Amino acid sequence: MRVAKIILIGLVLFALASWLTVYVYGRFAAQVRGAPSEALAVVENGTALDRVVAAQTARHPDMSGLRLVSDNIDAFAVRAHAARAAGRSLDLQYYYWRDDLTGSLLGREILAAADRGVRVRLLLDDINSRGDGDDIYAAYDSHPNIEVRLFNPAMSRDSALRRGIEMILRAVTVTRRMHNKAFIADGRVAIVGGRNIGDAYFGASDTANFRDLDVSMVGPAVGEASAIFDRFWNSPLALPIRSLSDPEQRSLAKLRARLDGLAASEPAQRYLSHLEEAANAAAERAAEPRYHWTTEVQVVSDPPEKVLDVGQQSWLDQAIKPVIASATRTLEITSPYFIPGDEGVLTLRTLVERGAKVTVLTNSLAATDVAAVHGAYAPYRETLLADGVDLFELRAESAPGRLSLFGSSNASLHTKAFTVDQRTGFIGSFNFDPRSIALNTEMGVLFDDAQLTAEVRREFATHIAPNHSYHLTLENGTLTWTGEPGAAPEYNEPGASIWRKFVATFTGFLPLESQL
């Protein structure tokens, strides 16, 4: 009885401390909230991008132009070119922006744009921007034409212990993150998809690179992306970094010197020399790109208020679920983190029973960058296969296309896309897991266009080919991985280390699925 009383008192004290922390945080956020601002108006002939894009869209009135960006080097090139071509504004929204080679090179492009008078708004989630990153982003923010805001940031910046305590006491909201990714130049060009900013997304890592997919857009869809950015930028959850950082951290001169030195380094020169061809190709595409033109496109997103667990009727999954449920012939899902849950299993089973061919591609245990997620996904495999779902797992040692400029590297799937009935498609940041459904904010591009969907399906077919992925089946009730023709089948997480197998198995027993 005494132990129970102590536990009860402890829980009450924790609840009070948690409530007080949330209350104090709310008052702090209200006091330091930045001034509202909106996307700058697009004009007919104001910037180089205005002139180029206006000429394109004039030939396709009321239509949006969409182009897939699958190649890692091309993905860097289109962003760098957009930053160089911008003459009015850059609105950039990311889950994280790594302070590595490609992150620094793009940062240098952003500084150059700001020096030309371009207004730059950079919105980053705080979960990957804390600690040592504050001085870098504070330095960017000190430029008169750049403002940096952090989404759902911690108040405690200079102490890991205090930050950890705050995260525990604010656990209800602190685990909910902004997972959106958008790069918008002059309100004319928008790049939306699965890529964050960092070497692993742009083929610059010598250890592991991601396979990912973006959509580059012009036309009315860009306005939709800008409206989503404005909603997040002006949210009470987005706080100016200048209110969180030490003024002594804000050294723009030091940042410039460091970025210039890095750009002159041997690794940067190697990357940029290989990039030159891709950059030239990107410039040519900007002049006459191979866009798919359509009116049937919508940029969709969770609202920022999702992290407060309100307004569920407007969450992104409410737009996606009916599209998936409408499949009658084919459903092809690419999701690096795939935890369908009981509801998802039932949905896929229903589609198969209806006669649709359902195919899913995700990471193998050897390829995933989050073994714990694999631990939550693994128990669903036998049920999915028994229900008739075709299941593939990307191999770590191989990936199609040009993956890294710096020699061989392992591959990990990061593309988040699906196609329905060879006509409708989605590309974005949304994983098929509980975190994307209920915790993080996500965004993407939903379209109804046969040609663009066919291009996404070709990417999918390349990835599930036997030389790139394992095909999972059940042999007499035993889970089996089959690779290239003639290769012996495998029966236990091929290519995965003992440690990875242990982590996945151990976390699979923990009640963590709702957080993954």
Catalytic residue list: 179, 181, 186, 414, 416, 421
Specify the residue for token string 């667990």.
Answer: 309
Specify the residue for token string 């402890």.
Answer: 10
Residue 15: exposed, middle, or buried by beta-carbon count in 10 A (0-12, 13-18, 19+)? exposed
Distant-in-sequence, close-in-space partners of 409: CB < 8 Å, separation ≥ 6: 205, 206, 207, 208, 209, 403
Characterize the bridge pairing of strands 330-334 and 357-363.
parallel
Residue 215: exposed, middle, or buried by beta-carbon count in 10 A (0-12, 13-18, 19+)? buried
DSSP code string of 302-359: --GGGGGT--GGGSTHHHHHHHHHT-SSEEEEE-SSB--HHHHHHHHHHHHHHT-EEE
DSSP code string of 93-157: EES-B-SSHHHHHHHHHHHHHHHTT-EEEEEEEGGGT-TTHHHHHHHHHTSTTEEEEEES--S--
Please state, in angstroms and rounded to a whole number, the distance separating the CA atoms of residues 234 and 225: 14
- Return the H-helix or E-strand segment holding 370: none
Asked if residues 446 and 430 have their Cβ atoms less than 8 Å apart, the reply is no
Q: What is the DSSP letter of 231?
A: H
Query: CA Rg, the chain, in Å?
Result: 23
